[in-house]
Amino acid sequence: MSGIQLNELQALDIWRRAIVASVRADAPDLSARQMALLLSVYLTPPPHTVRGLAQLMKVSKPAITRAVNRLTELELVRRKTDEADRRSVFIQRTVRGSVFLREYGELIVSAALGETEGSSDGLPPRY
């Protein structure tokens, strides 16, 4: 039909397809916080600092440090100290992170297309 009539149930179902596909593909099992951080770094304008991300996500700075540690191990982001103020640390993108998120986006789009094609009927059982 015309496009995605994005009601809540369809939105959830798209998300279900995408995240199940991601888990099946053995992608790293990121927590919501880690994913929020990753997406923020890639999709909002830099610079991104620990302090800024902590405020954005309303979590403690150590929580950001730990999430960055994890994402750095996975090479999805990297640290770069701000030379203008050496107390600050910038969280930056990496090639691997770009690839990861690109594929993630494709997953969501595929899930959305699968959703709209055909299955206009079955709103899954009552809810």
**What does the binding site for a second copy look like in residue numbers (CB under 8 A)?**
2-9, 11-13, 15-16, 19-20, 22-24, 26-27, 29-33, 35-36, 39-40, 42-46, 56-59, 98, 101-102, 104-106, 108-109, 112, 123-125, 127
Contact 92, 45 (CB under 8 A): no
Question: Binding partner of residue 86 among DNA, a second copy, none, CB under 5 to 8 Å per kind?
Answer: DNA
| Count of residues near DNA by CB under 7 A | 29
- 27 contacts DNA (rule: CB under 7 A): no
Question: Which one, 73 or 117, has the nearer CB to DNA?
Answer: 73
If we measure between CA atoms, which residue out of 108, 99, 109, 95 comes closest to residue 22?
A: 108
CB of 73 to DNA, least distance (A): 7
- 121 contacts DNA (rule: CB under 7 A): no
- 38 contacts DNA (rule: CB under 7 A): no
Question: Binding partner of residue 75 among a second copy, DNA, none, CB under 5 to 8 Å per kind?
Answer: none
Question: Encoding tokens for residue 85?
Answer: 């103020």
Q: What angle do CA 53, 84, 62 make, to 5 degrees?
A: 30
Q: How far is CA 74 from CA 8, 12, 39, 40, 104, in A?
A: 33, 28, 15, 17, 15
If we measure between CA atoms, which residue out of 1, 73, 3, 10 comes closest to residue 38?
A: 73
Out of 46, 62, 105, 124, the residue judged to bind DNA by CB under 7 A: 62
Q: How far is CA 98 from CA 48, 64, 67, in A?
A: 16, 20, 17
Question: Which one, 67 or 87, has the nearer CB to a second copy?
Answer: 67
